[in-house]
Chain A
Amino acid sequence: MRTVMRTPRLLVAILFMLCAALCANVAAAQGLTLQIVNGVPSAIPITVVPFGQLGSGPAAPVDVAQIVGMDLARCGKFRPLPNNEIVQSPTTGAQIKFATWQQLKQDYIVVGSASYDGGVLKVDYQLWDVNKQQMLLQNTVARQGSDLRRVGHEIADQIYQKIIGVRGAFDTRIAYVTMVGLGNNAQYALVVADSDGYNPQTVVRSHEALLSPTWSPNGQEIAYVSFESGNSAIYIQNIATGARRLVSSRPGINGAPRFSPDGKRLAVSLSFQGNPEIYVMDLGSGALTRLTHNLAIDTEPSWTPDGQSIIFTSDRSGKPQLYEIPAGGGSPQRITFQGQYNADVAVDYDGKKLAMVQGNGNVYRIAVMDRSTGGQEIFVSPGNLDDSPSWAPNASMLLYAATEGPRGVLYSVSADGRVRQRLVLSDGDVREPAWGPYRTP
């Protein structure tokens, strides 16, 4: 019996690996589709001229200028000139004919050259103000190995910061969960990829459900929930080494992990004392502090950036709503009053904007509440079954999960909801995106 079972399993494993490789290729080939939802009148017109070739080495294997343009477009703050309207091809500031670009109503122009020698991709680029005819930025960015696309993301980050005045978040990573197959053949994977969905790498595989991935503040670890033991359990895994540790497998639910801003504590939802309650676990000692005490479902804790309080989901008023409680314990205050159903908050870097899943009837959309303007809310996704909002570290964009036909897909959307991009990641069901922190060089 044993040998009979072994062969198909091995086959399935090989098939899965091939499939994964194939899917990665498809994702890279298909690229990503950008949807301009409402048009962005305030978006800044910028031209990223295709980079020239420097030296006699082989052509660069990635189109860096295209990566820069796509990054700037999907954050919603820029409107890059389409390639077919780029009528001249300057590669240095001295070659720019400013009258041409003024006539095309461009505010900024990026020019540069790339070389690819010995596996190292190096780009020299300049950012110019078209109206002032003034150079704003000149820099050289180089990467090698599997990091070639990062050259484009780093340039986009530098341009974003120079013009917007806020650190760019294109050179960051995201995590998400994929599922292929059904029932006993289901295969789950926890995947880490670049912020635009390229370079996917599987960090966890399981035949049982994986959910709620969340990044440590230093970007080195991911906490997640796995059902591999037959019940929910919380693990923390080092992305680079693969080493992992079990942090909670108590009876009942072990769910919804979120690192504190200092990375020393983990907020979780556990039901071993009867029903789901919010706890804070000290990651050094493992000691638990219980924050909530009632018969409702209390879950999905998220820290405010100062580490002083925790916002969580509770149905103590009947339907799920968001509440805020001091991280050291205290009395919870309800903070959402619009919509029948508010859950799974994502707090942005300065604590002003709360993204959440808001349900009305059978429609679930991502809503963003601005606490600095008295709790004004906008919807940034169309529904009907959108969930798992996650902010970019600079709050310029969000990721969320949507359902299209039989499968789950991921979208990135600008913070104002006007520019939306579907990330084409794999053939399976894709869910639960989590945007990682800024990368340290």
Chain B
Amino acid sequence: MNATVRVSVVALFCLAAAACAKKQEVKSTPPPEAPQPTQQATTEGAFTPADLQTNACLRTRVIYFDFDKSEIQSQFDNIVACHAKYLRDRPMARMTIEGNTDERGTREYNLGLGERRGNALASALEAAGASADQIKVVSYGEERPVCREHNEGCWHQNRRDNIVYTAE
């Protein structure tokens, strides 16, 4: 590789880095603080799409699991309840649940485990009155970690279901 190419590579790196940094900057601008509605108000009235941005419970879109387990822990019961209520209140709303695992074990087995976690949340939402055709489950297994260190603190963050609304 000659010097000209090397310089170009460095230049490209810098340009790309600048482009990425700029993009991320825009992305990371925090949304304006919206007033938090009281829990009382949300349980009484019907949810609207605006609540997805403002309601503290509905803004929580992730639940976590124990190692090699797919049972929904009781600490997430309120998350299940509010999202189930949203789906009940909004029959046109659609949700994809993304099931994820930590890195331990084999990739294909973890695809199965991620799906089991997704299905566990889907079942809980359906038991709380959501309709099955509102929910789609996709398993990413260990392919989409949010944390890449090799310890329990990190693994815990990766053993999760992500809730993604595809129609509000």
Contacts and interface: CB of A to CB of B under 8 A. Distances in A.
Interface stretch (A120-128, A194-202, A269-277): A269-277
A271 B103 contact: no
Contacts, number: 106
B34 interface: no
B165 interface: no
Contacts of A185: 20
Given A231-B138, A362-B104, A271 B19 contact: no
Contacts of B119: 275
Contacts of A344: 106, 108-109
A189 interface: no
Given A8-B23, A271-B115, A256 B104 contact: no
B115 A253 contact: yes
B113 interface: yes
A69 to B, nearest CB: 29
Given A15-B13, A232-B139, A253-B112, A211 B106 contact: no
- Give the interface centre of B16, B108, B116, B137 by most chain A CB atoms within 10 Å: B108
Given A185-B20, A211-B143, A385-B150, A252 B115 contact: yes
Contacts of A232: 111, 139
B4 to A, nearest CB: 13
Nearest to A11: B16
B115 A14 contact: no
B105 to A, nearest CB: 6
A433 to B, nearest CB: 12
B19 A11 contact: yes
Nearest to A298: B112
B14 to A, nearest CB: 10
A432 B142 CA distance: 13
A164 interface: no
B107 A387 contact: yes
B132 to A, nearest CB: 12
Given A11-B19, A269-B112, A212 B107 contact: yes
A106 B106 CA distance: 43
A218 to B, nearest CB: 24
B111 A432 contact: no
B148 A300 contact: no
Interface residues of A, number: 48
Nearest to A177: B107
Contacts of B137: 252
B109 A320 contact: yes
A364 B111 contact: no
Interface residues of B, number: 32
Interface in A306-362: 313, 315, 319-320, 341, 343-344, 357, 359, 362
B108 A227 contact: no
Which secondary structure characterizes the binding site on chain A? Answer: mixed
A297 B108 CA distance: 10
Nearest to A254: B111
A299 interface: yes
B9 interface: yes
B166 to A, nearest CB: 10
B41 interface: no
A22 interface: yes
Given A231-B138, A252-B115, A271-B115, A300 B16 contact: no
A8 B9 contact: no
A84 to B, nearest CB: 31
A15 B16 contact: yes
Contacts of A299: 108-109, 111-112
A300 B103 contact: no
Contact of A297 (B9, B15, B116, B149): B116
A231 to B, nearest CB: 5
Contacts of B150: 384-385, 403
A284 interface: no
A22 B137 CA distance: 40
Contacts of A359: 104-105
A439 B146 CA distance: 40
B127 to A, nearest CB: 17
A343 B113 CA distance: 13
13 contacts: A8-B16, A209-B140, A209-B144, A230-B138, A231-B138, A315-B112, A341-B105, A344-B106, A344-B109, A359-B104, A385-B150, A387-B107, A431-B107
Give me the 7 closest cross-chain CB pairs, A-B, nearest first. A297-B112, A209-B143, A8-B19, A344-B106, A256-B108, A276-B112, A343-B106
Interface of A: 7-8, 11-12, 14-15, 18, 22, 25, 182, 185, 209, 211-212, 227, 230-232, 252-253, 255-256, 269, 271, 275-276, 297, 299-300, 313, 315, 319-320, 341, 343-344, 357, 359, 362, 364, 384-385, 387-388, 403, 406, 431-432
Given A15-B16, A357-B105, A364-B105, 9 more contacts: A11-B15, A15-B12, A276-B111, A299-B108, A344-B109, A359-B104, A388-B106, A388-B107, A406-B148
